[in-house]
Amino acid sequence: MTGSLNLWLIPLVPFAGFLVNGLIGRKLPKAFVSAIALIATIIPFAQVVKIWFQFSGLTLPYLENHGTWIWTGNFNANFTLALDQLSMVMLLIVTGVGFLIHIYSVGYMAHEEGYWRFFAYLNLFMFFMLTLVLSENFLLMFVGWEGVGLASYLLIGFYFLKDSAVKAGMKAFVVNRIGDFGFLIALFLLVAHFGTLSFGAIFSAVAQHPEWQGGFLTAVALFLVLGATGKSAQIPLYVWLPDAMEGPTPVSALIHAATMVTAGVYMVARTHPIFERSPLALSTVAFIGAITCFFAATMGLVQTDIKRVLAYSTVSQLGYMFLGCGVAAYSAGIFHLVTHAFFKALLFLAAGSVIHSLGGEQDMRVMGGLRKKIPITFWTMTMAVFAICGFPPFAGFFSKDEILYQAFIWPHGGKILWFIGWVTAGLTSFYMFRLWYLTFLGESRAQTHELAEQGAAVHARSDSKLVVEAEHTHGVHESPWVMLGPLVILAILSVIGGFIGVPAAMGRHDEIGHFLEPVLGSVPHAAGESSGLELGLSAAAVAIGLLGLLVVHFMYKVKPELPGKLATQFRGLYSLLLNKYWVDEIYGAVIVTPLLLFSRYILKALFDRGVIDGAGFAAGMTAQGFGAIVQRVQSGNIRSYAGWLAVGAAVLLIAVYFGFTSHFPPQ
């Protein structure tokens, strides 16, 4: 090994950027703020790339200890950073995509208030995310885990004057707390059982005891899953992610699509030795993933807000990753995480470019015909749409097929999982091409549509007024190159990104799968006779994707009046989807309202006001009343004091004389 890799620099440089921008950024010019933020992200990226080139020469996992954090009794936790293949992949994604999105933000946020605040939060997010990825124990990972939640909260509520943004931020935070509760319980169980939180120590202990199956490990795994469902927006805790679209679009791209929400997937992959021992927990992950990916896709079918479609799409794609992890194909899940980071970041950034070019408009019903006006955005977004729909040879094709194939050959209900995933692939294709047709093709509906005025008014609040006016003066226009550059790079990655994992059945070696093998273990793969199956499944997935495209073409191009007709004909189903199965309302009625009522009337009125305040009041009144009685002795009259003195002396004398005390016994 040649020298230290200085892993600690990777998270700490963005943190320094956060400190500088957060503390004095308000007084600095915008160019300076963005320069600091970009430098603070390119240094980690450059270092990660440098490590990547040294990677083959390293002994893995490479550990770096930076002292003891907690040392109490038998338990200690260190500031230990670790580098292995899995964290290498995550580092490349987080720093690479993160850097691109930082560049994009320079253009996107150019006219916004609180420019410095935005970049400070973004750098803070990078710090916590890199801590999460690099940590060698659960506790440090939990720090990153909580920290990205904090950064997410701050950035969702970035337009803090807007009520809905503040509420969305709060919702994201509270829902994430529920998941974090599960994570914490899992940590407590691990400490109680192993006495340590180090990944290496726990996993080697598990490896040495093949007789440990299920039981305790199932409990740990299920609590970890609860944590993962919160962070990665899976059923039942996915409700925060669609609302999180209140944040600026680069935030949606970075945090709520490419990196933070994949933390749950990363965590499941990282702790897979525990999941391996618990078929129940694995099945839970798989079915949560499958059900989430299906339901989120159906909700995405009818949304009209361009970012909300992408939000549901993100939930759905995260469901695929969970499905992959749940069928023990962790590398497939991570592979999809990588490609998804490319094309979903691109989708969000391109959507941001559309929104930017329309001066803050997000409603797809008033878009249309943008293909000619913003060609670069159109073409890059087209790449992303093809990638997410899984058409070969785009990135999503390989990763999604890998997951579907692994699901198909999974012995415990794999066919059902595959079927759900397969149907979802069709739904994905439908909602993505619907977005594509509505946004870019056809004629512009901005003038004719009654919603134009209303929509613009709605979103004028989200962006600062200045932008809206400035943009509207010269109509629809392409975004500046500082925004288009990252789009183009991500588009290239979305096209070629899949080639890192082409399976053997298609003549390559599944490089990413083999790369991750030392950490995640090998996955059963098509060899020889079953490669036909793999190819068949791929063909089926592509077919259903094409079907989705054809249906969209028919509904939105050939017969544009058809969607409206269908919506009225299947009114119940349509409003069910449009209202997202009323899940928010159900959660509100079943959990939030009873909790609020309980807090307000039982805890606040009865317990807080009654018991606690009452006890304090009673203690005060008792002291005061007793004081009022004793106060009479303090008359201020010297002779009464003297009288009390004389009486006291007389009592003492009598006591002594009659031998009432043992100290003065009669001689």
Partner 1 sequence: MVPIYYYLILSAILFSIGVGAFLIKRNIISVFMSIELMLNAVNLTFVAFAHHWHQVSGQIFVFFVMVVAAAEAAVGLAIIIAIFRTRATLDVDRIDLMKL
Contacting residues toward partner 1, per CB under 8 A = 631, 634-639, 642-643, 646
Q: How far apart are CA 542 and CA 540, in angstroms?
A: 5
Asked, as a colleague might, if the bond just before 236 is cis with ω within 30 of 0, I would say yes
For partner 1, the closer of residues 59 and 634 by Cβ is: 634
Q: Residue 80 carries which side chain, given as an amino acid letter?
A: T
For partner 1, the closer of residues 164 and 635 by Cβ is: 635
Closest approach of Cβ 617 to partner 1, in Å? 24
Q: Which residues, other chains included, contact 222 with Cβ-Cβ below 8 Å and sequence gap of 6+? A: 182, 278, 280, 281, 284
Closest approach of Cβ 638 to partner 1, in Å? 5
Q: How far apart are CA 387 and CA 342, in angstroms?
A: 9
For partner 1, the closer of residues 528 and 636 by Cβ is: 636
Closest approach of Cβ 643 to partner 1, in Å? 6
Closest approach of Cβ 625 to partner 1, in Å? 16
Q: How far apart are CA 105 and CA 260, in angstroms?
A: 17
Closest approach of Cβ 656 to partner 1, in Å? 15
Closest approach of Cβ 636 to partner 1, in Å? 3
Q: What angle in degrees, to the nearest 10, is found between the helix axes of 481-496 and 85-108?
A: 150
Closest approach of Cβ 635 to partner 1, in Å? 7
Contact 85, 500 (CB under 8 A): no
Closest approach of Cβ 642 to partner 1, in Å? 5
Phi first, then psi, for residue 660 (nearest 5°) are -80, -10
442 burial via Cβ count (<10 Å: 0-12, 13-18, 19+): middle
Q: Is 66 helix (H, G, I), strand (E, B) or coil?
A: strand
Contact 264, 189 (CB under 8 A): no
CA 619 to each of CA 518, 605, 615: distance values in angstroms, whole numbers, following the listed order: 66, 19, 6
Q: How far apart are CA 531 and CA 507, in angstroms?
A: 10
Q: Is 4 helix (H, G, I), strand (E, B) or coil?
A: coil
Number of Cβ within a 10 Å radius of residue 542 = 18
For partner 1, the closer of residues 558 and 630 by Cβ is: 630
**Alpha-carbon 551 to chain mean position:** 32
Q: Which of 287, 290, 292 is nearest to 314 (CA)?
A: 292
Closest approach of Cβ 641 to partner 1, in Å? 10
Q: Which of 300, 190, 150, 282 is nearest to 228 (CA)?
A: 282
Number of Cβ within a 10 Å radius of residue 596 = 11
For partner 1, the closer of residues 52 and 664 by Cβ is: 664
Closest approach of Cβ 665 to partner 1, in Å? 21
For partner 1, the closer of residues 192 and 638 by Cβ is: 638
Closest approach of Cβ 647 to partner 1, in Å? 10
For partner 1, the closer of residues 29 and 643 by Cβ is: 643
Residue with tokens 């002291």: 623
Residue with tokens 């989120």: 296
Q: Which residues, other chains included, contact 340 with Cβ-Cβ below 8 Å and sequence gap of 6+? A: 257, 258, 262, 317, 318, 321, 388, 396, 399
For partner 1, the closer of residues 632 and 663 by Cβ is: 632
For partner 1, the closer of residues 56 and 637 by Cβ is: 637
Q: Residue 509 carries which side chain, given as an amino acid letter?
A: H
Q: Which residues, other chains included, contact 284 with Cβ-Cβ below 8 Å and sequence gap of 6+? A: 222, 225, 326
For partner 1, the closer of residues 470 and 642 by Cβ is: 642
Q: Which of 335, 441, 329 is nearest to 385 (CA)?
A: 441
For partner 1, the closer of residues 2 and 631 by Cβ is: 631
For partner 1, the closer of residues 454 and 635 by Cβ is: 635
CA 612 to each of CA 248, 608, 619, 620: distance values in angstroms, whole numbers, following the listed order: 43, 5, 11, 13
For partner 1, the closer of residues 208 and 637 by Cβ is: 637
For partner 1, the closer of residues 27 and 639 by Cβ is: 639
Closest approach of Cβ 624 to partner 1, in Å? 14
DSSP alpha helix (H) spans, 195-258: 199-208, 216-231, 240-243, 249-253
* Residues paired with residue 72 on neighbouring β-strands, in sequence order: 75
Closest approach of Cβ 634 to partner 1, in Å? 5
Contact 511, 395 (CB under 8 A): no
Closest approach of Cβ 660 to partner 1, in Å? 21
